[in-house]
Amino acid sequence: MQVAGSGALVAGGASGLGEATVRRLHAGGAQVVIADLNRERGEALAAELGTRAMFVRADVGEAEDVREAVESAAALPGGLRISVCCAGMGWAERLAGRRGPHALESFESLIRLNVIGTFNVLRLAATSMLDNEPFASGERGVCVNTASIAAWDGQIGQISYATSKAAVVGMTLPAARDLAGSGIRVCAIAPGTFDTPLLSSLPKDAREGLGKVVPFPPRLGRPDEFAALAVHIVENEMLNGEVIRLDGALRMPPR
């Protein structure tokens, strides 16, 4: 799939991994729809990029919001060929402790955003791609979702987050198989510790400490490195049904 001239949707595209992916796709010549809840950041990014970029406010868990974003991308001259879902969140809470059991409400909230939101973007983007004219290879589109190494290495207090990201891993292969006959590929990226807004509240020395435990390179990942892999997946037709760890060989300890 060529980036140049293709229409792209990036959910969670106003900051962090999503923003870096928007910038990378736009620089490669794609027309990009930035879908995010944060109107201020999303509109500012679209205004900065100028032509070939637009913002649509969307909650990934809401069908109508995502449908509107998908329709906006499908209406672009290149059609919706690329979908990247970076929308997600995480926080720490133990399964049980002195304060009682893990709150059901917080578990449901994380599942709704990370799992249902990802599925919602995937199902609607893929349905739109079915209407694309296939290229000579038969390819109609590419969907890239965001998992996490917590899917395998979930730490203490990460039961909700690890569960949600394991679900993203689990949906990748069957989604790719469901869509293979239509020429639509599905992959996921499982980043390790990246320098994103999720870590921005930590002191600088704490962030540096997290980076030092990465075998190599001994630092936090950079959002542009995630974006580079997302673009490579788009461009490499043989990548399908795969979840790629992007973690510098990090295997997270229990805490």
Q: What is the pLDDT of residue 142?
A: 98
Query: Residue 176's domain is classified under what CATH number?
Result: 3.40.50.720
Q: What is the pLDDT of residue 1?
A: 92
In a domain, residue 156? The reply is yes
Indicate whether 206 pLDDT > 80.
Answer: no
**% of residues, the chain, pLDDT over 70:** 99
The string of pLDDT tens digits covering residues 141-188 is: 999 999 999 999 999 999 999 999 999 999 999 999 999 999 999 999
**CA distances to 82, 117, 239 from 126, in Å:** 9, 14, 17
Query: Rounded CA gap, 63 and 131, in Å?
Result: 19
Averaged pLDDT for residues 3-22: 97
Q: Which of 68, 164, 56, 148 is nearest to 113 (CA)?
A: 164
In a domain, residue 253? The reply is no
In a domain, residue 254? The reply is no
Q: Which residue has the tokens 């679209």?
A: 46
How would you classify residue 212: left for phi > 0, otherwise alpha for psi between -120 and 50, otherwise beta?
Answer: alpha
Q: Which of 235, 152, 150 is nearest to 187 (CA)?
A: 235
In a domain, residue 251? The reply is no
In a domain, residue 212? The reply is yes
Q: Which domain range does residue 227 map to?
A: 7-246
pLDDT bin (cut points 50, 70, 90) of residue 202 is low
Query: Rounded CA gap, 79 and 37, in Å?
Result: 23
Query: Rounded CA gap, 148 and 16, in Å?
Result: 14
Cβ-contact 9, 80 below 8 angstroms: yes
Q: What is the pLDDT of residue 115?
A: 98
Q: What is the pLDDT of residue 210?
A: 83
Averaged pLDDT for residues 57-85: 97
The string of pLDDT tens digits covering residues 101-147 is: 999 999 999 999 999 999 999 999 999 999 999 999 999 999 999 99
Sheet holding 184-191, edge to edge: 53-57, 31-36, 7-11, 80-85, 141-146, 184-191, 243-246
Q: What is the pLDDT of residue 3?
A: 97
SS3 (DSSP) at 245: strand
Count the domains in the chain.
Answer: 1
In a domain, residue 1? The reply is no
pTM for this entry: 0.95
Q: What is the pLDDT of residue 201?
A: 63
Which residues participate in catalysis according to the annotation?
161
Concatenating the DSSP letter of every residue in 181-225 gives TTTEEEEEEEE-SB-SGGGTTS-HHHHHHHHHTSSSS-SPBPHHH
Query: Rounded CA gap, 254 and 207, in Å?
Result: 18
Comparing 24 with 255, which gets the higher pLDDT? 24
Averaged pLDDT for residues 5-32: 97
In a domain, residue 255? The reply is no
Indicate whether 253 pLDDT > 90.
Answer: no
Indicate whether 209 pLDDT > 90.
Answer: no
Q: What is the pLDDT of residue 252?
A: 87
**What is the average pLDDT score of the chain?**
95
In a domain, residue 217? The reply is yes
Averaged pLDDT for residues 221-228: 97
